[in-house]
Amino acid sequence: MSMRGLFGFLLAAAMTLMAGAASAHPHVWITATSELLYAADGSITGVRHAWTFDDMFSAYAVQGLESKTKGAYTREELGSLAQTNVESLREYAYFTFARADGKKERFQEPVDYFLDYKDTVLTLHFTLPLKAPAKPKQLVLEVFDRSFFIDFQMAKDNPVKLVGAPAGCQMKLERPNDGTASAQKLNEQTFLNGENSNFGMMFANKITVDCP
């Protein structure tokens, strides 16, 4: 099942409870933190994400899951759902786009992935290794959904960390303006056709790392 298919299935019932919600974007809200991972030689090797889903999506995602403790789920109990999530992400390039000195970089499939459940919300943790480590003067990493089906917002506190980066590297995060109000004026069909199919690019979270 695709990422949007999974989200759509889980949220279908919730959408019927919200007047006009079925024609509004986004449908899913994620609060994200990211760690950029560096090797000892100063090359970047990948990015580690933690994506916390909104409470509505979380509630429907765990509906019907068996657990030993009511209202609580272990990583093991969430293992199958975590696998479904990361496999679904492949179709959308993991909503993560990198350029090293202007050159597009590609990622391998996620590793070290798991879900945890705390305070009634799910958080998906996963690491995206680069297909080949890079040592650029400037790295640009963007996180967004082109169709704005999913609204990514970087966490207010400690949204991005450089792990093992060379001394002197400087990181800057550019947060997007809130596009929800504009998106909600457009109906579902608008996002499936034409010029608005890449609407989400306007609201990308942009991380730039400059190294000496």
What pLDDT, in 10s, does the model give residues 120-130?
999 999 999 99
Segment 174-193, tens digit of pLDDT: 998 754 445 444 444 444 45
Q: Render the burial of 33-72: b for 16+ CB within 10 Å, e for the rest.
A: bbbbbbeeeebbbbbbbbbbbbebbbbbbbeeeeeeeeee
Domain residue ranges in the chain: 3-210
Q: What is the pLDDT of residue 10?
A: 44
Task: Look up residue 87 and give its two tokens.
Answer: 């496999």
- Asked whether 53 and 61 are in contact (CB, 8 A), the reply is yes
Residue bearing tokens 């109000």: 181
Distance CA 139, CA 105 (A): 10
Nearest to 173 by CA among 211, 147, 143, 130: 143
Q: Which DSSP string corresponds to 92-132?
A: GGGGEEEEETTEEE-B---EEEEEEEETTEEEEEEEEEEEE
pLDDT value at 31 more than 50: yes
Instruction: Quote helix, strand, coil % in the chain, to nearest 5.
Output: 30, 35, 35
3-state secondary structure of 22: helix
Report the share of the chain in percent with pLDDT over 90.
56
The model's confidence at residue 149, banded by pLDDT at 50, 70 and 90, is: confident
Residue bearing tokens 């919200």: 18
Packing angle of the helix pair 3-16, 79-89 (nearest 10 deg): 110
Distance (Å) of CA 205 to CA 131, 141, 154, 179 = 22, 8, 7, 12
210 membership: H or E segment, kind and range: strand 205-210
